[in-house]
Chains A and B, each alone.
Chain A
Amino acid sequence: EVQLLDSGGGLVQPGGSLRLSCAASGFTFSRDAMSWVRQAPGKGLEWVSGITGSGGNTYYADSVKGRFTISRDNSKNTLYLQMNSLRAEDTAVYYCARQMVYANPYFDYWGQGTLVTVSS
């Protein structure tokens, strides 16, 4: 059974940093591209960042480019999102999501989400 377990969220001050983790199990992690998607309170979904299975290619939304870094450790079956220079508008539930094995990036499995609150 595919499982994704998000963790690392919490309260952080503006300008601070946080690292999110997503522990994967039940599938060949190194084969599959992964993404982070966030949802601000009461708002819609926003794709944040993606990474290929090998980690060789990464992609970012303009809103986080230069501040966030996606990475993965395939030996630990874990996806990461390093978030620096955090702003109030980064407050959201962050989900990791697996991209299904297909030509286009669709998300067939999601973590339960971890809440990041940026506030002084």
Chain B
Amino acid sequence: DIQMTQSPSSVSASVGDRVTITCRASQGFSSGLAWYQQKPGKAPKLLIYAASSLQGGVPSRFSGSGSGTDFTLTINSLQPEDFATYYCQQANSFPLTFGGGTTVEIK
């Protein structure tokens, strides 16, 4: 199974900041990685798929990059609605696995 390790587990940031979240895979793969945003009491929302493709309707301040074992989600100019928990998910092989999550909190 491919294990996904996210860092940091939480980050405090202010509106307008740039935030970077990293996801490291226990085995390398090309681009089968997604990023989701989840707010309390709500279902996750797909932000990025195939490591760097922006899902329709998602603001362009969100971007993804990486391949192999290291992947990154960047949020440019953090907005109030971006305070949430973010998860990566590997879609390279079954069983599908998620990272442990990164909570973006208001500083």
Residues of A near B46 (CB, < 8 A) are: 100, 106-108
Count, chain A residues at interface, CB 8 A: 23
Q: Is the interface of B mostly helix, strand, loop or mixed?
A: loop
- Give the nearest-CB partner of A63 in chain B: B95
Residues of B near A111 (CB, < 8 A) are: 43
Q: In the complex the two chains form, is B43's CB within 8 Å of A47's CB?
A: no
User: Is B96 interfacial (CB-CB < 8 Å)?
Assistant: yes
The 0/1 profile, CB within 8 Å of A marked 1, for residues 80-104 of chain B is 0000000101011011111111000
Closest CB of chain B to A15's CB: distance in Å?
24
- Give the nearest-CB partner of B30 in chain A: A104
Interface-side segment among A24-32, A54-62, A70-78: A54-62
Chain B residues in contact with chain A, CB under 8 A?
1, 32, 34, 36, 38, 43-46, 49-50, 55, 87, 89, 91-92, 94-101
